[in-house]
Structure 1
Amino acid sequence: MELKRNIHMVLGIDDRNSHDRYLWLPTLVGRNKRMTFNEIRERVWKRVGSWKGNMFSQGGKEILIKAVAQAIPTYTMSIFQLLKGLCNELGSIISKFWWGSKEGRSKVSWVKWENLCLPKACEGLGFKDIYLFNQALLAKQAWRIFHNQDSLVARILKSKYFKTDDFLQADLKIGRSHTWRSIVWGKKLLLQGLRWRVGNGYDIKVFIDSWLPRHASFKPISLCRDVNMTVAELIDKDRHCWDSHGLSYLWIERLFFLFLSLYKM
């Protein structure tokens, strides 16, 4: 208790039995996540319900949805993963406002909400898919932890959740907090597009790691599957450039000999 009082005095904080909220975020997320984050649904529903759809043009509705309705849960979604059912409900509330209502009844939705969330270049309207946007925000947090490993939050998470592992290899174990589960969920999206920047190439496995700049998997397609081959073997150390002979042998000539053998058969 003496140490507790000293900490309160040094930090200048009050002594409270519980802290339900801090910076408008829940300090404790229990098993009933629906109850914890239901406030977001209520806020969106009240805000959208206060707008009379008949008074706005389609352009005005679009601005309200993007600038207000879909911005309400952004702060919380940047820290916590929301339930998929809650994300669907938020999308449903916004969708009903977009299509409007007549005599208290919602009008027909002529286009699926998923199609309206496509970019305008893809014939959508650029609305956010709440569930995917939630994962994208958490992937951004995962990138910050990975890129700024000396930051306070990165050091705290490392000491608690992955003391001996690298952040990218840290897994999700039973009993972890919802905050860590949310970051791991965002990291899954990060890993889909994360790739090596080639330096000397000694730490990059040619057929295991993602390192090519343009490809669906960022990995080469070749008949050779030497799992121990590194990118350093494809670099000419004397001229500091790619070894064109090794590259052509690896990807071109082997395919040529394959086609030739199939032709002879």
Structure 2
Amino acid sequence: MQSVMIPKGLCDEIDVMIRQFIWGSTSDNKKITLVIWDSICQPKSHGGLGIRSLHDHNTSFVMKLRFKLVTDYSSLWVNVLRSKYVVQGGLPESLSRGQYSFLWRSLSNIWPLIHQNLLWSVGDRRNINCWKDSWVPNVGPLYKKIACNSSLDMDCSLSDMVTENAYWNLDFFLLWLAKDIIH
């Protein structure tokens, strides 16, 4: 469960068994549910029992692995997977699924969810793609905000957008983006 995506149907079946256990039901003897299930799934601090959906729990485990694959270059398993599946530095737009291991297929299935929820911390600006990576809060990738990109280098890093004096090149951004995004 921590390294592969379990089929949603199987997760739902196990969730049903958990519900039956909580209510004391069996397949022959159904009990009345006294509280709505969403209330029970709330955290204990909000009055629930803290029970999680198995599918959501499985997804969060695999997302954690995927996040490590993107950010942790010191772990052996990260270096092995990056080398085996030829993932260069930075954040790829997609992952191939083909005839790969169960772990890699699980990571590639969850990739769109990771990609849309990941926000880069700027740091030294070299590893961030200016247009394709999400680095501006609540905006997403900037290429989606550009009106016309015929002569724009979509593979430039964020460090290319800084002047020699270490200031943002706002004139360049103003050519391609709306003022409300820049300010």
Structure 1, unmatched stretches of 5+, are 1-76, 255-265
Pick one of 100, 103, 122 that aligns with 1:176. Answer: 100
**Corresponding residue number in structure 1 for 2:73:** 149
Describe the SS at the equivalent of 1:204: coil
Question: Once the 2 structures are TM-superposed, how far is the Cα of residue 171 of structure 1 from its aligned partner?
Answer: 1.2
1:99 aligns with 2:23: yes
8 A contact 1:196–1:209 mirrored in 2:
yes
Q: Which runs of 5+ in 2 are unaligned?
A: none
The match for 1:185 among 106, 109, 119 is 109
After superposition, the C-alpha distances for 1:216-250 in whole angstroms (9 at most, x for unaligned) are 63548756443536545654442x34456666674
C-alpha distance 244-136 of structure 1, shift in aligned 2 (>3 A)? same
Note the C-alpha offset of 1:157. Answer: 2.6
Task: Report the Cα distance in structure 2 between the residues aligned to 1:180 and 1:221, rounded to whole angstroms.
Answer: 28
1:84 equivalent in structure 2: 8
Give the 3 Å change call, closer, same or farther, for CA 91–246 of structure 1 in structure 2: same
**Separation (CA, whole Å) in 1 of partners of 2:160 and 2:75:** 35
Q: Identical aligned pairs, as a percentage?
A: 25
Q: Is 1:197 equivalent to 2:105 in the alignment?
A: no
The 1:148/1:106 distance shift into structure 2, 3 A limit, reads: same
For 2:95, the aligned partner's letter is A
Aligned partners of 2:3 and 2:106 also within 8 Å: yes
Match of residue 252 from structure 1? 179
CA distance in 1, matches of 2:3, 2:23: 31
- TM-score, normalisation: structure 1: 0.50
- How many residues are paired up? 171
Q: Distance in 2 between matches of 1:110 and 1:219?
A: 48
Structure 1 CA distance, aligned partners of 2:13 and 2:130?
Answer: 44
**CA deviation string 1:35-90 (max 9, x = no partner):** xxxxxxxxxxxxxxxxxxxxxxxxxxxxxxxxxxxxxxxxxx11222121111111
Query: Does residue 215 of the first structure (1) align with residue 138 of the second (2)?
Result: yes
RMSD across aligned C-alpha pairs, in angstroms? Answer: 3.8
**1:177-207 Cα distance to aligned partner (Å, 9 max, x none):** 222212323434322222333334685233x
Render the CA deviation track for 1:151-171: whole Å, top value 9, x for unaligned: 3323333443x13x4373431
Give the drift of 1:149.
3.3
| Cα distance in 1 for residues equivalent to 2:139 and 2:178 | 17
Higher normalized contact order (CA 8 Å, seq sep 6+, divided by chain length): 2
Structure-2 separation of matches of 1:216 and 1:115: 33
Structure 1 pair 144–232 and aligned structure 2 pair: CA distance change class (3 A)? closer
The structural deviation recorded for 1:114 is 5.0
Structure with more helix by fraction: 1
Query: Which is greater in Rg?
Result: 1
